[in-house]
Structure formats: structure tokens, C-alpha cells
Amino acid sequence: MAKTTGFIEYARQEAGHRPADRRSGDWREFLLPLEAPALCRQAARCMDCGIPFCHGTGCPLANRIPEFNDLVYRGRWRDAAENLHSTNNFPEITGRICPAPCETACTLSINDEPVLIKHIEYQIAERAWSEGWVVPRPAARKTGRRVAVVGSGPAGLAAAQQLARAGHAVVVFEADERPGGLLRYGIPDFKLDKGVLDRRLYQLRAEGVDFQCPVRVGQDLSTRYLRRFFDAVCLTMGAGEPRELPVPGRGLEGIHFAMDYLAAANRVLSGEAPDPISARDKIVVVIGGGDTGSDCVGTANRQHAAEVHQFEILPQPPQRRPPDTPWPTWPRILRTSDSHEEGCRRRWSVMTKAFAGRGVRVSELHGCQVEWVPGRRGPEPREQAGTDFAMRVDLVLLAMGFLHVRRGGLVDGLGLKLDERGNVIVDADSMTSQEGVFAAGDAVAGASLVVRAIAAGRNAAADIDRWLAEN
């Protein structure tokens, strides 16, 4: 235990941020880390609660949170880094972008502010990099078996690293120009600087992982080739099919899926593409209130949009944890992101009914307020009479989530069975309906958190390694 009375003596202290009016003018990360003494006090708040719900219920990776808190408090940073890396391949990434379900499951959060787990994780990871403790760890013995990983997002990278360290020859096929998937093209630089990703990719390459980009398996490369030249295949393509908004005027120019918008902005910053889908001097409406929508808000602000609005069809959540999401579950509460603080007009219970345009470009959004009423399959929205409105708009970004894995050459070519939602079906050992073909991450579970994808990739790698040993 860190300190017996630490949770009584010390209050939670948040890490700082560069001021909103300054950081929105550039794409750099804006976190201001706590100094070491302050961080040690935060680690001291971990209360040795007996049953660490942060570890068992909150964290999908089962990070040994009380242990690394104790090690940080005692100044044993290298041991803390070893502890953290034993369960998490990429703590410098989760320490930046994870929503921290561990903190909402912290026992202190029952009647106090939780331990600053996410920032402690971030600091451990960054100390490990700055001290040179993160080095390639290639396998001491090669097995002679070859594994193909399709997709280089968090699930694919975690699976590839674990399989390479087990001694297998791993080739990662990525459809985009560079590896990283969602981490590279879906998350803005102000949340995740791509140098953070690239230094980890260097480690994977030094451990023997071969990245092949851009290769679209099922089009550029046949599924027959995969089955013939690899002993096992791991599918980690993510849930790339976005939720559509089927309303009149949807086909007008200036209406884009959020991920297309974010990817274009990231490609401009990396020099891979000349022009973004620019929000400069435009009235922007982001439809969807989740993390992807928030990233669109922050990106539009940095592109100097004239106005940024965000519409959510669900009602505004309460400020405090409501009874229907009790501790230690993820609470349904109002969350204000750093991007919102930089400038955004938010509205809840708004349904978009149609778009209108001047010529071929969108120029107007028509919507209304809704109320949620009981329905056959749960609550459903009902239009409120007299609430119809219209507003000028120049750019609309659809951030309403994702449905399932993209179908086509790869999924159909392998003849995979899908569930009723369109996700790849796997058994308890991560294997699909085809022998030797495994799947993990959002392709199986639907769109979820990066931390869950990493956990799924690690689990799939263990299942593949065990299957290869038996076959």
C-alpha cells in the first residue's frame, strides 16, 4: 500500500493544460504534467481497498493499478514501468486517450474524487521512454511459424507484438499508407502526437514485426494467399462501417463522415495529402456527442471555423452519477472535453430531419427537439411539436458511431460468419468460423475503447500462440 492515510491527507490534483485560447491555435499536445513530488502524493491516495475494482472491474487490461501506485509513491519508477508494461503494450497511448474506466471504478469515487490513475500511468510510461528503459525485446527463439495480422490499429499492434515476442514471424498488412490505423488517422495530434506512435512502431520493427503498407487484403492480396503462406491469420480491421443519417439532402456536398474528416486533417499534418476537408470560416455542425464528435470539434477550432455546434439526439446527462449507472459501472454523466472548452455550442435532444442546399452544397440544416418515451425495444425519440428549426450551415460532420466491420473482399473471401449486428463471430479462443483464422478488437465487439482493443489483441495473440503449439 502506498500510504495508509494518503487518501485522507491529500486531495485529488488534476494535471494542468495549456490555456484553451492558446492551444486551439496549434496542433501540439496541451497536457502539463504534474511534477514528481505532486505525482507521488497522488499515488499515495491509493487506499489498498482490499478488492481493487479499478483493476478487476474498471480496466479491460487488468493493469495492476494498486501495485504501480505503490511503486511510484516509493520512487521505484523502473519497477513501476515493468509492472505496467506486463499488462499493457502501449501505456503511453492509453495514458493519453483512455477515458479511464479505472477511475470511475476506484473505491474512492464512492464518496470522494478517485485516484489520478490515468495521469500516473502516463507519467510512468513517459519516464520509461525518457530513461531508455523501453527497448526492443525480440524473442530468444524462433518457432518457424508465420502469422498474418490484418489491420494495424491498437488490437493489431498488440497482437503483433505479443506474437513476435513468442517467436513467430509476424507480417502486419495495413490498407492505409502508414501503420497505426485509428491511432494514426482517427485521433488528432493534439490528443496523440504521432511521434509517440512512431517510437513504439520502431520497437515493434526491431522485435521482428514486418509492416506491409498500403495493402488491401482481399483486393491487392488474395485471401487464398494468406491461407497458403501463413500458418495463422489474425483479423483486426476494426468496425469501420459508419452509421448513416438517411434524411433528405444527405447527398449534398459538404456533409462528411467524421472519420473521413479527421483522417484528412491528420494526413495534411503528416504531409501525406495536400488539402484537408477544411472548416476555415465555416459554420460547422457536428452530429453526435461522443469522443469522435469531440475530436471533430477540436479539429474544426484549429482550422479556424467561424462557429462550431454539436448536436446530440440523446438527452443531456446529469452532472452526478445517476442510480441507473451505480458505482463501479461507467457513469452516465455530463462530460465536457478539452475540445468543448475551446469553443462549441452544444445541444441535446436534437433530431436532424433534413438538409437543404444552394446548388450542390449544403447550406441549411432542419431539425427539431425530441423527447424520449417508452417503446417496444426501449426508449425512443418522439418529435416535440412546435420545436422545428432551421439554421445556416457550411460543413456537417456525422459522428454517430460505427455499425460493424466493413464487408467485402476480405470478410466475404474468407467466408466468415457474422452475428446479427454484422460483427465477426469468434469462439472462446478468438477463432472465427474458419479454422486458423482468428479475430479481435472492434471487428468482433463493435466500436469500443482503445484499451479494450489492446486487451483483445493480447488475448487473441495468446490464443493463436497456443493453437500453433497444438497444430
Pair (48, 158) in one structural domain: no
pTM of the model: 0.96
Q: Indicate whether 171 and 104 sit together in one domain.
A: no
- The H helix count followed by the E strand count for the chain is 19, 18
The pLDDT value given to residue 108: 95
Residue 47 has pLDDT above 90, yes or no: no
Mean pLDDT, the chain, whole residue set: 96
| Co-location of 428 and 323 in the same domain | no
Mean pLDDT of 172-182: 96
pLDDT at 378: 87
192 alpha-carbon distance from chain centroid:
11
Residues 101 and 170 reside in one and the same domain? no
DSSP 79-136: HHHHHHHTT-S-HHHHHHH---HHHHT-GGGGTSPPP-HHHHHHHHHHHHHHTT----
183 and 152, same structural domain?
Answer: yes
3-state class (DSSP) for residue 360: coil
Crossing angle for the helix pair 194-206 and 154-165, nearest 10 degrees? 30
Same domain for 408 and 319? no
pLDDT digits (tens, 9 = 90+) for 211-252: 999 999 999 999 999 999 999 999 999 999 999 999 999 999
Domain-embedded: residue 1: no
Domain total for the chain?
Answer: 3
Segment 141-147 shows an average pLDDT of 98
- Residue 1: its pLDDT value, please? 63
Give the containing element (helix H, strand E) for 263: helix 258-270
250 and 396 fall within a common domain: yes
Q: Which residue type sits at 396? A: V
Domain ranges, residue 288:
244-400
- 138 inside domain: no
CATH code assigned at 73: 1.10.1060.10
Partnered with residue 233 across adjacent β-strands are 148, 437
- 140 within a domain of the structure (yes/no): no
Q: Are residues 286 and 365 in the same domain?
A: yes
Dihedral sign for Cα 187, 188, 190, 196, please.
Answer: positive
| H-assigned helices in 328-375 | 338-341
Q: Is residue 79 part of a domain?
A: yes
Question: Residue 331 belongs to a domain with what CATH number?
Answer: 3.50.50.60
Quick one: angle between helices 194-206 and 258-270, nearest 10? 80
- pLDDT score of 306: 98
C-alpha span between 108 and 99 (Å, rounded): 17
What integer is the mean pLDDT of 130-136?
98
Phi, psi values for residue 66, rounded to 5°: -60, -35
Residues 445 and 460 grouped into a single domain: yes
Tell me: do 236 and 278 sit in the same domain: no
Residues recorded for the chain: 471
